[in-house]
Chain A
């Protein structure tokens, strides 16, 4: 079974530029998550999708971050415009459902450096 796929793996941009990340979850996983992980910290949930609907985006900085999962499968996360503090690893995860026993499986992440 293929795991969670993410691209690109690395991205370097200048502040005020735009960037987009792509995620393809494990086949059949209805729930998809985007996390931001700043160096030395645990992951912070940005947004959670159930199929193509948003169930939690309370920690998404909506003035600059957007995410979509139009067909309920793959998803894109966009930052526009980027700030220096957006430098982090962006992790995508998926699970069969959203209950407490449902394990989240993560992709390899995208390392973003904003200069």
Chain B
């Protein structure tokens, strides 16, 4: 059974810092991995999607990497800004043909001005 873990659960950093959020999964047989951002009381916004055949994806100041063999993905945020404050979630989809995406509990990020 796939399990997804995100560490740390919460993170507070000063503005301008480069930071890394971690996502671990127990079953390496995945179809893709997706990173999301969630603002309080809102829905999830897709940030990056990495297919199982890819090693990384980039969008602006965000870079996500995937190492299937070790069951890990990292989300790198460069030059963090107060507007980056949100909860970041990762989700993996297995290759079994199911539509099931398994989510981590998220990392709550606060960037201080």
**Do A and B come together as binding partners?**
no
